[in-house]
A = this chain, B = another copy of it.
């Protein structure tokens, strides 16, 4: 099938009418519409996206930008794939398609984004791994491209974002440990400039201070958010003069390396040191003792992301009443054995 023109000729109808029939526009007789739809189905006609995009100035494609940093690659990450299910279930209702745009690790992420946007390959963007100061946000705002950020920047300013409830998680973890008698609680945070690290440590600090425990910077261990990072964290922890009795990990992946380092040192997690991880990671499920951690549904988060994004787009706003611009996404505590160690005795 060569195009709408052929289809129109085949039906002996003008192309305008065919177009309106296919797109569910008014001003077309029911019988005519039926015929058009039937013929399109039969001949396997599907509208050429380029032509449509050119005319409408819209591509009907939403981009999910992915950082394929070395760290992400090493770790492997089902995070984005987990999101796609929820995203697509919402987008499908509006005949929108999702594409994942992996930013090459060699290319500057802002340059990449700029290229994708300037080429008009997507109508809107979802960005993630928000930096403390993230130039992508200014760029998208200035270019008037609808977007939602997964993760807030330091300013937290005037744009749409969804972020995980780091405050809640940190508070919950800290209080749980305190209730077991721990006073000297370490935290393993990421060493790069991603903002969630700062938020998490801040929340940890506040939770401590609420319970009258002095914040000790020495207990904040900055390492890579990876298995290796966890091992390194174990190393750093063992090097401390006064050893902590508990540790909170900002990425569960760290638990794998941490466990290994602990075992090497003859320390049994859960018995000699309480460990709490942050985000449930399939890869951490096998750990012995099982890791106490915080869970969430990636699919549900995807749905929320999609709905939030569409709410910012004029064409779809009617379906998604404008709620709050920013959402804090809750997580659920999943108790395990790794924080069984208690000092109350």
List residues of A whose CB falls within 8 A of some B CB.
Answer: 44, 46-51, 53-54, 59, 61, 66, 68, 72-79, 81-82, 84-85, 88-89, 92, 97-102, 104-106, 115-116, 118-121, 227, 256-257, 259-260, 281-283, 285-286
Contact call B44/A118, Cβ cutoff below 8 A: yes
Expressed in whole angstroms, the minimum distance between the Cβ of A208 and any Cβ of chain B is 31
Q: What is the CA–CA distance of A100 and B97 in the complex, to the nearest angstrom?
A: 11
Q: What is the CA–CA distance of A85 and B100 in the complex, to the nearest angstrom?
A: 14
Contact call B54/A283, Cβ cutoff below 8 A: no
Contact call B102/A98, Cβ cutoff below 8 A: yes
- Taking A73-B78, A73-B82, A81-B73 as contacts, is the C-beta distance between A119 and B46 under 8 angstroms? yes
Contact call A77/B81, Cβ cutoff below 8 A: yes
Would you mind naming 16 contact pairs between A and B with Cβ atoms under 8 Å apart?
A: A48-B120, A61-B121, A68-B81, A68-B84, A73-B78, A73-B82, A73-B85, A76-B78, A76-B283, A81-B102, A85-B104, A88-B104, A89-B104, A97-B115, A227-B285, A227-B286
Contact call B82/A119, Cβ cutoff below 8 A: no
Contact call B68/A85, Cβ cutoff below 8 A: yes
Task: Please tell me which one of the listed residues B54, B84, B99, B118 contacts residue A50 in the complex, with CB atoms under 8 A apart.
Answer: B54
Q: What is the CA–CA distance of A82 and B78 in the complex, to the nearest angstrom?
A: 12
Beta-carbon nearest neighbor of A287 in chain B: B286
Which residues of B sit under 8 angstroms from A281, Cβ to Cβ?
Answer: 76
Q: What is the CA–CA distance of A5 and B81 in the complex, to the nearest angstrom?
A: 41
Contact call A49/B98, Cβ cutoff below 8 A: no
Contact call B104/A49, Cβ cutoff below 8 A: no
- Taking A49-B121, A50-B120, A100-B99 as contacts, is the C-beta distance between A282 and B89 under 8 angstroms? no
Beta-carbon nearest neighbor of A45 in chain B: B118
Which residues of B sit under 8 angstroms from A44, Cβ to Cβ?
Answer: 118
Contact call B78/A77, Cβ cutoff below 8 A: yes
Task: Please tell me which one of the listed residues B50, B81, B101 contacts residue A53 in the complex, with CB atoms under 8 A apart.
Answer: B50
Expressed in whole angstroms, the minimum distance between the Cβ of A67 and any Cβ of chain B is 10
Expressed in whole angstroms, the minimum distance between the Cβ of A286 and any Cβ of chain B is 5
Q: What is the CA–CA distance of A240 and B308 in the complex, to the nearest angstrom?
A: 53
Which residues of B sit under 8 angstroms from A74, Cβ to Cβ?
Answer: 282
